Structure formats: C-alpha cells, structure tokens
A and B are shown apart, each in its own frame.
Chain A
Amino acid sequence: MSDPVIEVRELRKTYGSGDTAVHALRGLNLTVERGEYLAIMGASGSGKSTLLNILGCLDVPTSGSYLLDGIDTAEFDEARLSLLRNRKIGFVFQSFNLIPRTTALANVELPLVYAGVRRAERRKRANAALELVGLLDRAHHAPNELSGGQQQRVAIARALVTSPAMVLADEPTGNLDTESSREVLGILDRLNAIGRTVVLITHEDEVARHASRTIRVVDGQVAGVLV
C-alpha cells in the first residue's frame, strides 16, 4: 500500500495571542489515503475551514506537521509552496473566487499559465476541463454573466485543469440551490471515480453521503468517525 496523500500530526493553529488568542485547531490528527472521498463536518467555528486552508497550503499551521505525499510542507519556502498549490492541489471555494471581468476560459487557463504551459496546449486542456463540467458553451462569458452554479462549475474546472492529486472543496454547495448542488456533487463524484482524492467540507448530511468517509471536527479536533 502506498503512502497516504495527507498525513497531519498534532496540528495547531492559533490566531492572535495572550488572553484574546483563538485556538482554531488544538492538536488535530488526520490521515487521508490516496483516492479517498472524505467529508469533513462540524459546527461553524469548529476549525474545519482552517484545517482545509492548511491542507490547501493557503495558510500555515502554528505548530504540528503536515505531510503532503510524504513530504513535510514546513520545509517548503513560499516559491515551492506556490508550485505545490499549482501542481498538486485544486481548491474550490464556497464563494467561487473567480477573477472578475475575465472570461470563464481565461479563469480556467490561469493555473496553466502559471505552470508555464504553452498557449495551444493550454487552450485544449482548459476547453476539456470546461467540457467536463458541461460549460463549453459558456467559455467566453465573464463570471457576472454566469449563474452561481455555473460559476462554481467553472471554479471546479479551474481546480482540476492541472490534473492535481487532490481536490479540496470548502462548502462547494454552500451558496447553491438544490439543482446546482446536485450537478457540482456529480462532478466531484466523477472525479473521485477516476481516482482523484477529494476532500470537502459540508454542513449537510445529504452532501456528506457522497463521501466514502466522514469525520466530524469539534473544537479543533477530530471527534469521531461516522460511517
């Protein structure tokens, strides 16, 4: 059996200091195997978003270790972290975070530009990613010309265009209606089916049911494994 994709040990994250310090994570341990579909649940303020941000290398822990593909991320400098974000991680936000006034195609191409992929190849792969999320006909629309569900699908296309080892999604259906949620979850299911590791945060049991494993974060620690 191969190494786990994610191995987190005694992870702590503290905001502020002294009396006003907020402990978002208090010694959290977590292992995610390759190809797993993990749902993280928890009340708001439980630290689940902080955990996902650290897993996505968008934030750094105060202490503890995070091994991504067996390598300790604490050893990485900013330049290598950005490389890591570009190659290994696809991140989907609750609020989509598309670049405004820029077409869907250009948004999806963005990670490939930073990866140094040539123009023609980039166009091909971005179109393929848009086709996968069923938005090829919307390629030249700006985000404000798309519905919330369509924007989130563009964001997912952007997350998977670099063929990352894992896709992290922070409440991807939080701002979407039932129909759009179903489409987005369908795409994530298909990604998992072709072998990608998917980690998502959710409030809803309905969404968590798509996952192969669900954990609950309470007060900055993993409370228990739900089946």
Chain B
Amino acid sequence: MRLLEIGLFAVRGVTANKLRSTLTTLGILIGVASVILLIAVGNGASTAVQQSIAGLGTNILTISPQRGGGGNPSAASSSKPLTVADATALADRTEAPDVKSASPVSSTSATASVGSTSYSVSQFLGTDPAYFETTNSSVASGSLFSTDDVAQGRKVVVLGATVATQLFPAADPVGNTVLVNNIPFTVIGVLAAKGSSGLQDGDDIAVSPLTTVQNALTGYAGLSQIVVQATTADTLPAAQAQATTILNSRHRIGIGQTADYRMLSQEQLLTARTATTDTFTVLLASVAAISLLVGGIGITNIMLVTVTERIREIGIRKAVGAPKSTILGQFLVEATMLSLFGGALGVAAGVVGSQFTIAGIKPVIVPSSVLLAFAVSALIGLFFGSYPASRAASLRPIEALRHE
C-alpha cells in the first residue's frame, strides 16, 4: 500500500511537469549517446588503422644492402651487392621451402612528365610481377606487366594512384605515354589506392619491369631490395632463417661476422602496429573518460535544477505531515525512472548514430562502453536526483517553504 502510493506520487511527479522531465531525460540521453558514439568512432578509427597495416602484407621480409658490413674484416670494401642471382637463389624450392617468392627491387626517384605536366615520383621501382602479389597491390584499371615484359625489357609502367592523378588529372592514363627522365614509357595499368601508412604515401609509386629500370635508369650495380614473401605468416620465422642461411653462404659470411645485408621482418611492422593500437586504446580511454565526465556533469546539473526547483514542494509535503523517508522514496523512484528511461533512449540513439559514417570513419560499437555509459549515467542520475532531495527533506518545513 505504502510503496504503491510512493510509486504513484513519483509517476505523478514525473508527468506533472512534462517539459522538465523531457529535459532531464534529454540530458541523460545525450550523456549516454555521446559516450557510446565517441567510443565507437575511436574504435572504428583504430580498426581502420589495423586493417590498413594488415593491407601492407603480413608475411614479408625485406632484404636491403648494408654498407660497412663484409664477410672478411680485412677487406671491408669487399661487401657484395644484392643481385638478381641472390633473389633467384632465395626463391629456390628445396633450399628455402617456406619462401613463396623473392622479388628483386631496384628503386630510384625519377621525374615523370606528360606534356607540360611533370611530377617527381618518390619511388620508381623496377621489379618482377611477383612483387605485386607480395605487397598486396592490385590493379584498379589496365593490367600489370608480365614475366615476358621483364624478359624483353619493355618500357611499360604501372602507376600508383597518386602519380596517376598528378599526371592525368582528368584522362584515363592507360595507353598513354609518360616520359620518365626523358625516356618514354607506356602506361599499362594504375594500382588501386592503398592509402598512406605513417609518413609515407603508399600511392606515390610507379612500377616497371626490373630489366627496363636497370637498363634505363639505375644501372646494374646492385639491387635496392629483395622483397621475400613467406608462404604464410606462421612460416615467416622459418623463411627468415632459410633466407639468412642462403645469403650468408652466397656472401661468404661466417658465424659471428657482420652481414653485408639487412633483413627486416614483419616484426617491426607488428611492433609498430601494437604501438598504434596502444595509442588508440589510450585515446579511446581518455575520450570515454571525458565524455562520461561531460555527460555526468550534464546529468548532475539537470537533476540539481530539478530538485532545487521542487524544494518548496518538499516543504509543503513536510508541512502536511510527510515523513522524510516517504519524500526520499518518491524522489528516488522519480530519479530512477528518468535515469533508466533516458539511459535506454541514449543507448538507442548511440546505436542508431553509430550506423552512420562519421568524418570518414565507420564507428564500431564497443559493447562494454554501452554498459559503462548506461550504468554510470543511471548512477549519477540516481545520486544527484535523490541526494539533494534527501538534504531538502532534512530541512525544517519552514526552511524548505521559504526556499525560492
């Protein structure tokens, strides 16, 4: 009987002033929704970065020449360059069963021009067709060059997305001729955009057959890189060991001697990825904390205003003989109803809002953030809805009545 009466009072209290109740609900709604949405956006960005790193290829070894190394310490200058023969040896099925392919790469920077438009390509690569697969590069239009193009040394080029838009802002580049350091190359394809990873623009690139590049641009002195692809990500350590053995024997490097090449595994990229993810986790946590704080302050405000506005009503109730516990019960139930209702609406708004792409980021909801936002907002609403009421209920009736 008594509890039912308190509940009825609370319902009447909530419905008596619809504007006030709506504003309170709105305050909690915005608090909860903003927390869920901000965390979802942060999480979405983090996921996007992880995917773009994964897009770079997860099972690659990069071998590059190391200056100053050498098989024989007494003849430091005898360090051998990386050669096409090295690359061929690394791709040997029996010697290195875990290596899927090894692409020799000769790279330089070059100036490409079409008519009066010229552009400085930061990475002009000569390599073989396997390189595209190794680096997860796919063609957006046209085609890639073939093994035959490499063997014949044809002057064909595949442009990265950035280079293509710089040189051919409007037209389709495929089939056109580009002058690279004044040597004409035929554009046979454009790579799909990869986006930038870190500081480097992954699309500021042009790829031609190795023989062509060595012949026309870099000469035959030595390779810039050999890019080795392991059969799977799991066999990468085995592939690395096999590649090391092969190269050490070919370059006559004994045990304990410094190698004349440098082998970078994916570990470094993985480390970078972990660091990026960690940064995002910290960012996420601070965004969550700030949104919760801001949301919480909003809820606190509206609840304090709501109760302060009603101190006079509390005085009237006390004057006609309401015990403190009954008044407290009423305000507690009112605050609970508003908090739960507002919180539920906030969760709905947050979930709906995160279905849209925001500033180019597809938000991904973190389930625990929904729970956290709801729980914290409800608790704050409950506390600041009932604590000031309890203080008002402790006043002498005449003090509460005089409150304006």
Contacts and interface: CB of A to CB of B under 8 A. Distances in A.
Contacts, number: 73
B320 A59 contact: no
Given A58-B396, A101-B17, A82 B5 contact: no
Contact of A87 (B315, B321, B322, B396): B321
B322 A98 contact: no
Interface in B386-404: 394, 396-399, 401
A220 interface: no
Tell me if B's interface is mostly helix, strand, loop or mixed.
Answer: helix
Contact of A85 (B5, B9, B320, B401): B320
Contacts of A85: 318-321, 397
Contact of A86 (B5, B315, B321): B321
B320 A114 contact: yes
Given A85-B319, A116-B2, A59 B324 contact: no
A60 interface: yes
A111 interface: yes
B73 interface: no
A59 B396 CA distance: 6
A59 B313 contact: no
Interface in A25-70: 53, 56-60
A97 B401 contact: yes
B101 to A, nearest CB: 79
B12 to A, nearest CB: 7
B183 interface: no
B262 interface: no
Interface in B309-333: 312-313, 315-324, 326
A110 B398 contact: no
B3 interface: no
A158 interface: yes
A11 to B, nearest CB: 15
A56 B319 CA distance: 8
Interface string A94-107: 00011111100010
A55 B9 CA distance: 29
A79 interface: yes
A115 interface: yes
Contacts of A102: 12, 16
B85 interface: no
B1 interface: yes
Given A60-B396, A97-B401, A114 B1 contact: no
Given A58-B397, A60-B396, A97 B319 contact: yes
A79 B393 CA distance: 12
A118 B312 CA distance: 27
Contacts of A106: 12
Nearest to B5: A113
A101 B16 contact: yes
A78 B394 CA distance: 9
B318 to A, nearest CB: 7
B316 A97 contact: yes
Interface in A165-195: none
Contacts of B394: 78
Contacts of A115: 321
B397 A114 contact: no
A86 B320 contact: yes
B313 A99 contact: yes
A22 interface: no
A76 to B, nearest CB: 13
Interface string B187-213: 000000000000000000000000000
A90 to B, nearest CB: 9
Given A59-B396, A99-B316, A82 B401 contact: no
24 contacts: A57-B397, A58-B401, A59-B396, A78-B324, A78-B394, A79-B323, A79-B324, A82-B321, A82-B323, A83-B321, A84-B321, A85-B320, A85-B397, A97-B315, A99-B317, A100-B16, A106-B12, A110-B320, A110-B322, A113-B5, A114-B322, A114-B326, A116-B1, A162-B321
Interface of A: 53, 56-60, 78-79, 82-87, 91, 93, 97-102, 106, 110-111, 113-116, 118, 158, 162
8 shortest A-B CB distances, which residue pairs?
A86-B321, A101-B16, A58-B398, A111-B320, A58-B397, A85-B321, A59-B398, A114-B322
